[in-house]
Structure 1
Amino acid sequence: MENTVPITARPSLRARISALYENDLWHSFRSHPSAIFATVLLAIVAFTALFAPMIAPQNPYDLAALELWNSEIPPIWNEAGQWPYILGTDTQGRDILSAVLYGSRISLIIGFASVLLALSVGLTLGLMAGYFGGWIDNVIMRMGDVLLSMPFILIAILITAVANASLPPGLKDVLAAPILVFAIAVPSWVQYARTVRASAMVEAKKEYVQAAKLIRVKSWRIMLQHILPNCLTPIMVAATLNFGVAILSEATLSFLGVGIPPDQPSLGTLIRIGNQYLFSGLWWIVVFPSIQLCLIVLSVNMIGDWLRDALNPKLR
């Protein structure tokens, strides 16, 4: 009789779902009410922002849809409120609810893109610095020290100012979002690089990495397949917390007038515009975008705090 090698069957979908349900991270999430609340809140904000064209009663970017005779209408619960302007309108007849939904989408996209860009650069440079060491480590870390020696907001303002001064007028508004993403990501990659470098230096001295070097495994393969998976836990926590910081940074830059242009308002732009009419009695123009910004950042920070505790082996 021929010898046969048994073939291990792949786990079924039910087995995979059951294993996921019994995972320690999922168990920690189910037993953490604030994390559940923050996740649901962030999911609602992201869903309404993503499907804003179908939910919002007005397109705030369409100037033809704005009606000046419907300007400065208070929220619907006020005696002078009108339907469908639930949260009122601004001085141009723009529906505040629609502007908040569309502005949330811009803020979330810019925050996510800037974190993704900073994470990619930080992971790459951090792995190189921790694995190779020597002059490569010194050059990368000194670049990070230079960026950390300057205020975050000053670097972002400098980048946006230089970009706006260099670009022709027709491209300033078109490239406003990519420039803002780049300006937020430039000073943000240092934290990821330092975190990955510290973990990579420890992993590079372990026996499995030395064995891979002896059998002449390529350096990029060792860094990506062996060292990087052991560095992801602190990076996940840092990326989650920095997502809220990136959204706040975008709002700050837009509030200062160097971010998203007024014809495509983000939450920061809406707050800047509404702040001009705060003492004129039109409080709803600035209050509701501010509340939305606070809800987004609060939910992200709560998820980050839970993730930091859940992935900390000392707290298990």
Structure 2
Amino acid sequence: MANLEHRKPAAQPTRLQRFFDGDLWWSFKSHKAAVGAAIVLLVLIVTAFLAPVLSPQNPYDLSSLELWNAELPPVWIEGGRLPFLLGTDVQGRDIVSGILYGTRISIIIGIASVAVSLVVGILFGLIAGYFGGWVDNLLMRIGDVLLSIPIILVAILVSSIAQAFLPPHLREAGVAAVLVLSIAMYSWVQYARVVRAQTMVERRKEYVMASKLVGTPARRLMLKHILPNTMTPIFVTATLNFGLAILIEATLSFLGVGMPPNQPSLGTLIRIGNQYLFSGSWWIVLFPSLQLCLLVVAVNMLGDWLRDALNPKLR
């Protein structure tokens, strides 16, 4: 009896331990494509955010660019030289440096646009699904109008209007914010529809009705009780939309309404290189294009795995 009385209770596992012991981590480890995509994505993100350390040149510092280094081929081709491993563009900008800095801009814009559209979409989806009626009809019809227009046209329209109204000295500085707004203007509808559908199911359940009877405010009920039960499909949508946001930013930059040449993203680098593709300087467009493909494919493969792993019908 004495030994039983002095026995310490078993330590409760932490959230991290529960995660590593859970089905999601087991599914990830057993999915070779997801593991490979995660490794590639991690390498791309780490190297992008360590660009000031890893890059031999600051591509945004125009004073460091030398025109006599323009259009140097990759180092394994005759005429190439170190430290320009993948060659240079027509301004003498190191391709590796431009790719690393451009990837960082693309990732930041992708994360920021997903975050903004996520907040707006969750808010509108909760309101539409919880209250219903004319509020639901108004918000969903606005979403239908936006979805009826191609996303590139929406982004170009918002970007062009914002650039027209911004003061000249703020246009280059505010380009990234305008791109985030342009992408989020369209993407929030998908989150709103997902959250609305889940909210309409949750609001009819007993725990929600019981909370209403005891006088729980609608805001607390939506944020504390209904929202946590809608997060699974939101995570999947956010992961897939991250890759889409990067592609949209690259497309806008390629069309000339995105990041400027002195602060190039991957799309800007591809646009610049595309002008010299048939002049023999193929490396200017090839390597940024490969980086963009790797980034988007890795994100989409992770999103596909997450969608399957969180789908109870496939377990």
TM over 0.5: yes
- Post-superposition shift, 1:80? 1.3
CA distance in 2, matches of 1:108, 1:313: 31
TM-score, normalisation: structure 1:
0.95
Verify: 1:194 aligned to 2:193, yes or no. Answer: yes
- Which AA in structure 2 matches 1:253? L
Per-residue CA distance 1:236-275 (angstroms, 9 max, x = gap): 1000000000000000000000011111000000000000
- Which AA in structure 1 matches 2:162? A
Q: Name whichever of 173-182 and 18-27 sits farther off.
A: 18-27
Root mean square deviation of aligned Cα: 1.3
- Post-superposition shift, 1:169? 1.1
Aligned to 2:172: 173
- Post-superposition shift, 1:98? 0.1
CA distance in 2, matches of 1:12, 1:299: 32
- Which AA in structure 1 matches 2:226? I
Number of residues of Structure 1 aligned to a counterpart in Structure 2: 308
CA distance in 2, matches of 1:62, 1:94: 10
Q: 1:190 to 1:8 in 2, by over 3 A?
A: farther
Per-residue CA distance 1:146-200 (angstroms, 9 max, x = gap): 1111111111101111111111211100100000100000011001000100000
Aligned to 1:140: 139
Q: Name whichever of 195-204 and 148-157 sits farther off.
A: 148-157
CA distance in 2, matches of 1:282, 1:249: 26
Aligned to 2:98: 99
Which runs of 5 or more structure 1 residues have no equivalent in the other structure? 1-6
- Post-superposition shift, 1:8? 7.2
Aligned to 1:293: 292
- Post-superposition shift, 1:124? 0.4
- Post-superposition shift, 1:20? 2.4
TM-score, normalisation: structure 2:
0.96
- Post-superposition shift, 1:17? 4.5
CA distance in 2, matches of 1:161, 1:12: 53
Report the identity percentage: 63
Aligned to 1:44: 43
Per-residue CA distance 1:21-77 (angstroms, 9 max, x = gap): 211100000000000000000000000000100000000011111111111110011
Which runs of 5 or more structure 2 residues have no equivalent in the other structure? 1-7
- Which AA in structure 2 matches 1:86? L
- SS of the residue aligned with 2:57? coil
CA distance in 2, matches of 1:105, 1:17: 28
- Post-superposition shift, 1:10? 5.9
Aligned to 1:4: none
Verify: 1:252 aligned to 2:251, yes or no. Answer: yes
Aligned to 2:148: 149
CA distance in 2, matches of 1:167, 1:186: 18
Aligned to 1:211: 210
For residues 223-242 of structure 1, the aligned pairs below 5 Å read 223-242=222-241
CA distance in 1, matches of 2:197, 2:16: 35
- Post-superposition shift, 1:18? 3.8
CA distance in 2, matches of 1:96, 1:103: 10
CA distance in 2, matches of 1:161, 1:97: 31
- Which AA in structure 2 matches 1:145? D
